[in-house]
Amino acid sequence: MKFIDKYLKQLILEIKSFDQATLEKMIIEIKNTRDRKGRIFFLGVGGSAANASHAVNDFRKLCGIDSYTPVDNVSELTARTNDEGWENTFAPYLKISNLQSKDIVFILSVGGGNKKLNVSTNLIKAIDYAKKKKSKILSITGKKNGYAQKMSDLCLIVSQNNKKFVTPFSESFQAVIWHLIVSHPLLKKNQTKW
């Protein structure tokens, strides 16, 4: 019981500490992207990859925003991993997709990548490519000072209050936040069935 109580209390604390101003700016940037007929490319690994796939569905279906993630094409993802290395899975996808300045690269990540520690190098290379193409970079991360947080135009950091729960809170709140975004009246065009 103590663990359950502690976990749930920490969840409430995290919700109360969300940076609502940044979240609002993200919503406006996404609306502007849709208005200029830009696309969103969601990037994530591990649990965040599953979240990226789910987010693509919601942004396309509910908001009418052209959205993609390279993790939905397991054949290309694994072929690139096998032939070019894990670090080269996302940037070449963005290149072939003709990433432009009117597009968004949306990073979902616990740590956000770290060049020095050689962590999430595929995200790092994709962020660098997006910067080169002058695309907007939005991110939801669980930690400060990761590469995504440093390089993003807008970054919402979750799980700041308890490092013990950084992974489950980061991945859980990615879903909470994108569901909030696609439900926002500025973005939601289509109703859910239920």
Residue 144: predicted pLDDT: 87
One-character DSSP codes across 71-111: GG-HHHHHHHHHHH-GGGSSHHHHHHTT--TT-EEEEEESS
Is residue 41 pLDDT above 90, yes or no? Answer: yes
* pLDDT exceeds 80 at position 162: no
Q: Which residue type is seen at 110?
A: V
Q: How far apart are CA 151 and CA 161, in angstroms?
A: 23
| Fold of domain 20-183 | Rossmann fold (3.40.50)
pLDDT band at 143 (very low <50, low <70, confident <90, very high): confident
